[in-house]
Amino acid sequence: MATAELAGKHLVLGMTGGIACYKIAELTRLLTKAGATVQVVMTEAATQFITPVTMQALSGRPVYTSQWDARVPNNMAHIDLSREADAIVIAPASTDFLAKLAHGMADDLLSTLCVARDCPLLVVPAMNRQMWQNPATQRNVTQLRADGIEVLGPDSGPQACGEVGDGRMLEAAATYEAIASFFSPKILSGRRVLLTAGPTFEPLDPVRGITNRSSGKMGFALARAAQQAGAEVHLIAGPVALETPWGVFRQDVQTAQQMHDAVMRSVADADIFIGVAAVADWRVDHASEHKIKKTAERALPTFTFVENPDILAAVAKLPHPPFAVGFAAESGDLEVHGEEKRARKNVPLLIGNLGPLTFGLDDNEVILFEAGGATKLPRADKQTLARALIVEIARRLPDTSLIR
């Protein structure tokens, strides 16, 4: 999450009666940390699962539970609360509440607020698998979608009741991601983005190998930003300890050759290719099949290296290449090497990490190299920078890629 990525957004967070209410404490924290203001409204049943006191403390605002609440000056909480809202999010959304929404019922504050809204409505269902599969619930969900209501989830897996199946609420982090994605402008809608991220690992023997200090953070941030911009995202990742961004298809590889082969298998479908991975230039020729032993009499091992395929150049050489974007990490003279590398690889855009190597850090500063010259983007955390880069990439897409 980037700092303040929901700054200026005001959400009404409606809670209904279900065990998953415990997840909303964490969701509220994530939303407020991202700069959103959160007005919690709870049904009577929701207050049986978590107290309004907890939700008030976490949201920093008084919680509303009744339409007869005299704290609202004109006594019309059901109208006033949603008027400032950028969206209403119902989480958890009970079976009962989905039914009420589908039928336009208005018999408590939260349901009345939803019927009287003039902003988008998102629901995050949470229920037992039989309740979710019930034909009435499925009918109601179909109706909600037809009415333009966003249905986020549900997830599948073990449930609080001990059963296993569809119906459990998305985790708080996934719900946050879906909400953040909802608010992102869909500048890559309908586009397919293929990315590589992280380091590669070139084996010396079954237990040792050569890798580099790439953390994968920039590539994963770009994958998340592209997904949020509406693209279908395929991320090919080297060995990294990062969670897959929400809604992104991820494929794990180890070596440069495997990364090359995975890219080549999928690139024909891509409108945009972004090569962020720090791919090893060389690998050991004939890595040992067995662990190389250290013995007193044995001489130090020697290795012969061979060149790995150049993934970016291979993509750029295709007869119908996608819009290809490269990344460069240099330990000096980026201004000189950046443009030279872009021209050599024959890609329209190359993004150079400015200053000392930024592997593993949360912040980055980059220069965009293209035929017309170089543009510097201000230093920012990698997620904010990723969003800015997606805007820059979207702006440069040739019209022809619209019809790939």
Ligand X SMILES: Cc1cc2nc3c(=O)[nH]c(=O)nc-3n(C[C@H](O)[C@H](O)[C@H](O)COP(=O)(O)O)c2cc1C
Least distance (Å) from ligand X to the CB of residue 95? 4
Report if residue 153 touches ligand X, rule: CB under 6 A.
no
Length of the chain: 404
Least distance (Å) from ligand X to the CB of residue 36? 23
Site stretch for ligand X (CB under 6 A), options 73-81, 88-96, 303-311, 342-350: 88-96
Report if residue 151 touches ligand X, rule: CB under 6 A.
no
Report if residue 132 touches ligand X, rule: CB under 6 A.
no
Report if residue 19 touches ligand X, rule: CB under 6 A.
yes
Alpha-carbon distances, residue 144 vs 48, 122, 138, 141, 230 (angstroms):
26, 10, 10, 5, 22
291 annotated ligand-binding residue: yes
Contact with ligand X (CB under 6 A) among 18, 153, 209, 326: 18
Q: Is 161 a catalytic residue?
A: yes
Q: 3-state SS string over 330-360?
A: CCCCHHHHHHHHHHHHCCCEEEEECCCCCCC
Report if residue 127 touches ligand X, rule: CB under 6 A.
yes
Least distance (Å) from ligand X to the CB of residue 149? 16
166 annotated ligand-binding residue: no
CB 128 within 8 A of CB 137: no
Site stretch for ligand X (CB under 6 A), options 125-133, 232-240, 260-268, 375-383: 125-133
Contact with ligand X (CB under 6 A) among 13, 31, 36, 46: 46
Report if residue 94 touches ligand X, rule: CB under 6 A.
yes
Report if residue 95 touches ligand X, rule: CB under 6 A.
yes
Q: Which amino acid is at 310?
A: D
Say which residues have a Cβ less than 8 Å from residue 7's Cβ, sequence separation at least 6.
Answer: 34, 35, 36
Count of residues engaged in binding ligand X, rule: CB under 6 A:
15
Least distance (Å) from ligand X to the CB of residue 139? 15
Report if residue 112 touches ligand X, rule: CB under 6 A.
no
Report if residue 116 touches ligand X, rule: CB under 6 A.
no
Contact with ligand X (CB under 6 A) among 45, 72, 242, 354: 45
Dist. CA 256–CA 210, nearest whole Å: 11
Least distance (Å) from ligand X to the CB of residue 131? 6
301-304 contacts, C-beta under 8 A, 24 or more apart = 303/204
Contact with ligand X (CB under 6 A) among 2, 11, 17, 214: 17
Residue 46 vs 386, nearer CB to ligand X: 46
Given the rule CB under 6 A, which residues bind ligand X?
16-20, 43, 45-46, 94-97, 126-127, 131
Name the residues annotated as catalytic. 161
